[in-house]
Amino acid sequence: MNVAEFKSHLSAHPNKVVRFVFDDGEAIPAHYHVTEVGHVKKDFIDCGGTVRSISACLLQTWTHEDDKEHRLDSTKLLSIISLAETKFPISDLEVEVEYEGRVISQFLVLSAEPTADAIAFELGDKHTDCLAKEKCGIDGSGCC
């Protein structure tokens, strides 16, 4: 889901609590904060020698054990993202959510589901991949 779509879901459900739910039904704890909205750009060369660039809008979440009553609502998150849009070209970028469980991980935002009191965004896993499969072949020859 890109930033424009994400914002559309937020604005369609004003003042609803925003939840981020993993595919197994678990969720980022309800008292999370969004501490950063970033335009993250990665320039790299793949194992086949092709120079590539990818960009995403990264929402960094953070929780603190002494702040269990905090709830971020859709109107507040929409204002935070709208402010970021005035500083960074993020409207067409895919939204990713960063969360620290045992390790810091980034998740794709797949869909949104409104409920009576919240809007829940489903998070999906990101995966590594070989981007030069045509040069690598099945046995990996020509690859790293």
Instruction: Give the tokens for residue 139.
Output: 């046995």
Mean pLDDT taken over the chain: 94
Domain locations in the chain as residue ranges: 3-136
**Residue 142 pLDDT:** 56
CB-neighbour burial class of residue 43 (10 A; exposed 0-12, middle 13-18, buried 19+): exposed
**Residue 7 pLDDT:** 98
**Residue 133 pLDDT:** 85
**Residue in the block written with tokens 């309800």:** 30
**Residue 5 pLDDT:** 98
Angstrom distance (rounded) from CA 142 to CA 136: 5
Residues of the chain with pLDDT under 70: 138-144
